[in-house]
Amino acid sequence: MALVISLTNDRESYRVVEVGAGWAPWAVMGVVCAHRLGKRAIGIAVEAEPRRAEWARQHAEDNGVESLVTIVEAACWNTDTTLSFPVLDEIDMGGAVHSGAASPDGEPTMDYRGAFIAHREVQTVTLDTLLAGDEPTDLLHVDLQGMELEVILPALELIEQKVRFLAVGTHNRYVEGMLQDTLLRREWALLLESPSTAIFDGVRPSLTGFTIQDGNQLWANSRFRDAHPMLIRQR
């Protein structure tokens, strides 16, 4: 539904940026759908895990849009730096960066779930880089396993200037509440919302560690007036 909403306009171009992309379902599908509608389409997918970045490249190639979707193998963050990222197997889709360095002796480091996993250092990329250029971004999708606020809030003024629709995969109720409290006061319209589900079964190092079902939010930026009036809160 979020893709459909972000594509519903008379504009001739379409730009989608997917952060925490995995195999890049949003970027690839957005570009494919926009291309079929006759729009000039560009996609950017950011993924820190090398195997998943390769999946994203293959996904774009399988759908014939490899020249239109750029895969950025990095971790999205609020500054240009180096972060620690877990070394994951193919079935673990829950990896998230943390700001501490990887263990220098190679010993596993505890992640946000309380699991001890080997980590490696990864380079970061910022939203300033990903949203650069004169064209607006029609859809920014952010899914960072509980680290969404660290990326979105410091770049909020930039996002308000550049992004028409913001879709966020949410991983704890604090993130959901902070986004609602912040964005509603800044004249964003919450179009779709499904809260995350948590079971508080013991002791975990973070709220996200208790989450058993991710949530999602879709926001419309009321500063852009080219979407259907039903989708934008009147200012």
The answer to whether residue 97 sits within a structural domain is: no
Q: At what angle do helices 25-36 and 50-62 cross, to 10 degrees?
A: 20
Beta bridge partners of 98: 84
**Cβ–Cβ < 8 Å for 75, 124:** yes
Res. 102: pLDDT tops 50 = no
Residues with Cβ < 8 Å from 156, sequence gap 6 or more? Answer: 182, 186
Is position 176 within any domain? Answer: yes
105 falls within a domain? no
Output the domain CATH number for residue 179: 3.40.50.150
Domain assignment present for 104: no
Please tell me which residue, 120 or 103, carries the higher pLDDT value. 120
User: What rounded mean pLDDT belongs to the chain?
Assistant: 85
Residue 29 is encoded by which pair of tokens?
A: 């599908």
User: Over 80: is that where the pLDDT of 113 sits?
Assistant: no
Whether 93 is covered by a domain: the verdict is no
Single out the residue of 106, 99, 104, 67 nearest to residue 85, CA to CA. 99
pLDDT greater at residue 70 or residue 146: 70
Higher pLDDT, 195 or 108: 195
- The pair phi, psi for residue 52, each rounded to 5°, is -70, -35
As beta bridge partners, residue 15 has 42
* Domain-embedded: residue 107: no
Per-residue pLDDT tens digits for 45-65: 999 999 999 999 999 999 999
What pLDDT, on a 0 to 100 scale, did the predictor assign at position 213?
A: 83
Task: Indicate whether 86 belongs to any domain.
Answer: no
Report the run of H or E that residue 165 belongs to, with start and end: strand 163-170
Owner of token pair 């650069």: 132
pLDDT at 58: 98
Number of domains composing the chain: 1
pLDDT in the model for residue 230 = 54
Provide the 3-class DSSP secondary structure of residue 159.
Answer: helix
Closest CA to 161 of 131, 187, 122, 191: 131
Q: Which residues of 89-117 are buried (b: 16+ CB within 10 A; e: fewer)?
A: eeeeebbbbbeeebeeeeeebebbbeeeb
pLDDT value for 99:
45
Residue 116 belongs to some domain of the structure: no
Beta partners for 192? 218
Kindly provide the residue ranges of all beta strands, DSSP E only, lying in 54-112, ordered along the sequence: 69-72, 75-76, 82-86, 109-110
Position 61 scores a pLDDT of 98
Amino acid symbol at 161: Q
More confident residue, 221 or 118: 221
Nearest CA-CA partner of 64 in 13, 22, 15, 28 = 28
**Structural domain of residue 146, as residue ranges?**
2-80+125-231
pLDDT at 92: 46
User: Averaged over 3-32, what is the pLDDT?
Assistant: 94
